[in-house]
Chains A and B, each alone.
Chain A
Amino acid sequence: DVKVTQSSRYLVKRTGEKVFLECVQDMDHENMFWYRQDPGLGLRLIYFSYDVKMKEKGDIPEGYSVSREKKERFSLILESASTNQTSMYLCASSYGRGAFFGQGTRLTVV
């Protein structure tokens, strides 16, 4: 089975902190994604990467950056966390037509 692992299930951070969310996949997938999930808004794409060191902005990239130094790892970075970034963050990887998701990280910024 494909495994996509996010480093934390729950995180609490202070406003202004730099926050790293890590995601690792074990199936050699080219494509990896970061989404945030909010009630009533569904899933919104923040960034995606289709190869090592390659990245593309999604629908809501403001306030975020990403890093993909190795194929299996895709990191989401909140440069200066704000309360409006309190959300569920979901990482996914895909080989083409299907995507596999991690269990999610619920981030609270106080």
Chain B
Amino acid sequence: GDSVTQMEGPVTLSEEAFLTINCTYTATGYPSLFWYVQYPGEGLQLLLKATKADDKGSNKGFEATYRKETTSFHLEKGSVQVSDSAVYFCALRGAGSYQLTFGKGTKLSVIP
């Protein structure tokens, strides 16, 4: 079945540091890929998405590129802020499927 593996946290960075959260997936066909963010005490919000190979999703300074050859969708941001502290989830939706499959989440803490 489909699965998503993302780097375990927690990750602690200083403000303005570079962020990478690794995400790899296993799926048949061509899934759609997503990053969701969960701020403390809230539900999940869609951060960015990519629906085909080599697509780059971007939002709020975050980027991720759909790499079919390495089955990866790593999240990056060039300069993190304290307000980026949250839990980040990588997810996929298999081709022809209704369901989202999530990774276990990576908690990011950004310190001033």
Contacts and interface: CB of A to CB of B under 8 A. Distances in A.
Contact of B43 (A42, A98, A104): A104
A97 interface: yes
Interface residues of A, number: 24
Contact of B98 (A4, A31, A42, A101): A31
Given A90-B44, A99-B46, A103-B43, A42 B104 contact: yes
Contacts of B99: 33, 45, 48, 58
8 cross-chain pairs, A with B, having the tightest CB-CB distances, nearest first: A42-B104, A101-B43, A101-B44, A43-B102, A103-B43, A104-B43, A42-B102, A31-B98
Interface of A: 4, 31, 33, 35, 40-43, 45, 48, 50, 56, 58, 90, 92, 94, 97-104
